[in-house]
Amino acid sequence: QVQLVESGGGLVQPGGSLRVSCVASGRISSIYDMGWYRQAPGKQRELVAQITSGNTTTYVDSVKGRFTISRDNAKKRVYLQMNSLKPEDTAVYYCNADIVDFSGYRGYYWGQGTQVTVSS
């Protein structure tokens, strides 16, 4: 069974930095796109950043220049470095990955989420 587990969330002051990470485990054959989504209270889940298996990255406009997504394929990990955090970045951050397992099944998997709160 494939699982994604996030870590690294917490409380940070405006202007501060935080790094969240996500590790994939289980019977994994290949991992394609990996990404970070977030959902604030009363809002829809939105894509924050995405990284392909070839390390091409995309970002939502609101985080460009502040957030950096990266991955370590050997460790099956994806990271989101968040700098210059703003109160509006407060949300639950979810990891997502396009994974092929040993049976050949390909699907999108989600982590359980990690809370990021930006407040003074």
| Pick from 107, 99, 108: nearest CA to 29 | 99
Which residues are CB-contacts of 1 (< 8 A; sequence separation ≥ 6)?
26, 27
For 81-101, write each residue's pLDDT tens digit: 999 999 999 999 999 999 999
Compute the average pLDDT of residues 102-114: 97
In sequence order, what DSSP letters do the residues of 97-114 get, joined into one string? EEEEETTS-EEEEE---E
Give the per-residue pLDDT at 64: 98
| Pick from 83, 68, 69: nearest CA to 17 | 83
Burial per residue of 64-87, b for 16 or more beta-carbon CB atoms within 10 angstroms, e otherwise: eeebbbbbeeeebbbbbbbeebee
For 31-85, write each residue's pLDDT tens digit: 999 999 999 999 999 999 999 999 999 999 999 999 999 999 999 999 999 999 9
Cα–Cα distance, 112 to 29 (Å, whole number) = 22
